[in-house]
Amino acid sequence: MTDMLLRILFLLGTLFKIMRCEYSELMNQKIGVRVEVLNLIYENETTITSTGHPRCRLTLHKSGWDRDTCSSPQFKLNDTLSWSTRVCYKWVCDTNKYAMRVESCWIGTPKMPVFIVRDDGCTIEKAILTSPVYTSFNRAAAIGWMAVRQKNMKYMHVGCTIRLCHLCDPACQEITPPRTCNDSRADDYEAMWNSSSRVRNLCFPAPSTTGNPAGTFYSVMVGTLLQLFGRDLLMLTRLTREDLLDSFDLQKLVTQPHRVNMDLLTFIAWIGIVGFVYLLSLLALKFTTIRVLIVTLAFLPIALMLAFFIFRIPQLTNEAHKTAFFTTWKVGGHRGSAHGDIPENSLEAFSAVKSEGGQLAEMDIQITKDGVPVICHDSNVARVTGVDKDISSMTVDEFRELRYLGTNISLPTFAEAVAHCVANDIMMIWDVKNVDESLLTQFVTQIRVNNIYSKVLVSGFNPIDVYLVKLADPKILTGFTWRSWELSTTDEDATIARFTGALNALANVLDILAFGLARSLIIPKFLGSDMIFYHVNDISRYLKTDAAANNIYLAGWTSNNAAEQVWLRDYLNVPFLTDDVSLVPQ
């Protein structure tokens, strides 16, 4: 009797070792495979509906490289394989109401099984099989090899236990998919339970909307939003308070973009766009005014396109004075060549441009209270004269009495500056801030009287001003001045925000729109501009090529770097402005 008990204990110990072995003795003979009927275990039987239990199946596929789909041919009954054959295991249940978890899989024989997947749904030995990857609630796949232990066998059996849990059962959150597998490849389908809208639709069905178009539309809207953004909503629930504060801090969006969760902002933007479209569509079902508005918005792009071609100003082509201007100008002085004791926008600064090897002086135009154009960059003269007063609040006689700080040099009027440049054969760019009828008249008069069509170009940031100048006299050369982030920042490197809060966000949006219109040359072509006057940070070889293809010259402002100046002048053949012409390499 004692001997019999010892034998039984020995056999049980041997079986235990076989079940938990390390697969060190794999055999080389080929063997057929038979798949056992899957054993199904149901959680919470009370939730099973009258439709009966779902059916599940396990199939083995020959290649196994595409572990997520197992799309390779399936093994047939008489097919054979060896321990070195790569296999793709595929588990599928024909149900939309249950979530599955593969567990307790084995190969060998029912009496002598070798387990490859534990009862917790993870693999026992990664060298044989990767943990199952769940591609949906009712589909999983894994890759591995077939471990063969028994000799002289015609067929090997493969069996599994599948645990099914009704989707409305909260316990399923812990059952599928397994979250404890050490195999990093096993958790590709992350948070399957929480990210699916099917759970909400199944467990909390929407009220019937039969005969109610608005209700039907609302249901479609909610379902679509959940399908599109379910995973993003899950991501939103996992964000910390600090993450949310950083993402909604509009100041950091400009100054510290690396701290902003751009995925979150993109998700919110899409939610807003889709929600707005759905809301309009829903309101259109009830209100005629909304339908008219939607139709109007739909035709708005067509209307804008027609307006572009109807109101655009034709560009000058093959005009001698245009060719002469851009052939002659290579280097220009930004507000003249102001350095040392020479103040900006002074007659002395304009003369310095010529004596230092430049060809052109850029000057800024303001209007006095009595309508006389004068030369000054700022609308207030405090920075250059020490007198805190706006030019628009003083007469021209008061303006003439002003002197640049530390000098006895007066600020010139527009007429004086033009006369000086004409007398000294200095080309000019007139930078306009605000054009009115009187200023347009003086522009046309000065150019025609002095016959300086080939010596002057009018440019400005405001496209309306440039448009009005071209309308007044199509022969006048015009340019569109622009830099990236002009509306939202105050410095040329675009690092100092011009506004805060909502205004800053709006300015950023407008700057993005302006960038597209400026870089695509839509604005310059509409204005009939002869030149695009872009900041040197925005200039590239590609922009030069695009401009030339559209009969537009490219010029840059303001370059004070010698290497950059050589690159602009000698490589791109792009004229530019600089603050000190004397420092430009010869």
b (16+ CB within 10 A) / e for 201-229: beeeeeeeeeeeeeeebebebeeebbeeb
Examine residue 558 and say whether the peptide bond preceding it is cis (omega within 30 degrees of 0): yes
CB 23 within 8 A of CB 148: no
Identify any residues that bridge with 182 across adjacent strands, giving them in sequence order.
none
Show the DSSP H helices in 286-429 as ranges: 288-311, 320-328, 347-355, 382-385, 396-400, 414-423
Task: Enter the DSSP assignment of 531.
Answer: E
Strand partners, 33: 156
Rounded Cα–Cα distance for residues 358 and 330 (Å)? 7
Give the C-alpha separation, 183 to 405, whole Å.
75
pTM confidence score = 0.56
| Full DSSP string of 178-217 | -S--S-GGG--STTHHHH-HHHHHHHSPPPP-TT-HHHHH
Residue 112 CB partners (closer than 8 Å, separation 6+): 15, 18, 149, 150
End-to-end CA distance of the chain: 112
Rounded CA-CA distance 98/189 in Å is: 16
The candidate with the shortest Cα–Cα distance to 140, out of 72, 199, 189, is 189
Of how many residues is the chain composed? Answer: 586
Alpha carbon distance 346, 132 (integer Å): 79
Residue 354 vs residues 348, 357, 413, 450: alpha-carbon distances, Å:
10, 6, 20, 19
3-state secondary structure 438-504: HHHHHHHHHHHHHCCCCCEEEEECCHHHHHHHHHHCCCCEEEEEECCCCCCECCCCCCCECCCHHHH
282 closest CA partner among 207, 224, 196 = 224
Q: Quote the Cα angle for 291-297-302, to 5°.
A: 130
Q: Which residues contact 268 (CB under 8 A, 6 or more apart)?
A: none
179 CB neighbour count, 10 Å cutoff: 14
- Exposure b/e, 126-139, CB count within 10 A at least 16 = b: eebbbbbbbbebbb
Task: Write down the pLDDT at residue 24.
Answer: 32
Element holding 60 (H helix, E strand): strand 56-61
| DSSP labels, 359-394 | -EEEEEEEE-TTS-EEE-SSSB-HHHHS---BGGGS
d(CA 398, CA 400): 5
Question: Distance (Å, rounded) from C-alpha 191 to C-alpha 526?
Answer: 52
What pLDDT sits at residue 235? 62
The phi, psi pair for 226, rounded to 5°, reads: -65, -40
- Bridge partners for 481 per DSSP: 533
Helix (H) or strand (E) holding 550: none
pLDDT at residue 8, rounded to an integer: 39
Tell me the two tokens of residue 258: 């690396």
pLDDT at 349: 96
* Digitized pLDDT (tens) for each residue of the chain, 586 residues in all: 445 444 434 333 333 333 333 333 333 445 556 666 666 666 654 444 434 567 788 888 876 555 556 777 887 766 777 666 778 888 888 877 778 888 888 877 767 777 888 888 888 866 677 788 887 778 888 888 765 555 556 677 788 888 888 777 776 766 667 766 776 554 444 455 555 555 666 666 655 444 455 555 556 656 665 655 556 666 666 666 666 666 556 555 555 555 556 666 676 777 777 777 777 777 777 788 888 888 887 888 888 889 999 999 998 887 899 999 999 999 999 999 999 899 999 999 999 999 999 999 999 999 999 999 999 999 999 999 999 999 999 999 999 999 999 999 999 999 999 999 999 999 999 999 889 899 999 999 999 999 999 999 999 999 999 999 999 999 999 999 999 989 899 888 888 888 988 888 888 889 888 888 898 899 999 999 999 999 999 999 999 999 999 999 999 999 999 999 999 999 999 999 999 999 999 8
Spatial separation of the C-alpha atoms in residues 187 and 179, rounded to whole Å: 7
User: Nearest Cα to 455, choosing from 324, 575, 298?
Assistant: 324
8 A C-beta contact, residue 247 and residue 240:
no
Q: By C-alpha distance, which of 477, 466, 484 is closest to 539?
A: 484
* Domains recognised in the chain with CATH numbers: 2-192 (2.60.40), 213-308 (no CATH), 312-482+520-577 (3.20.20.190), 486-519 (no CATH)
**pLDDT at 10 (0 to 100):** 39
Rounded-to-integer distance, Cα 139 and Cα 156, Å: 24
Closest Cα to residue 553, out of 330, 305, 358? 330
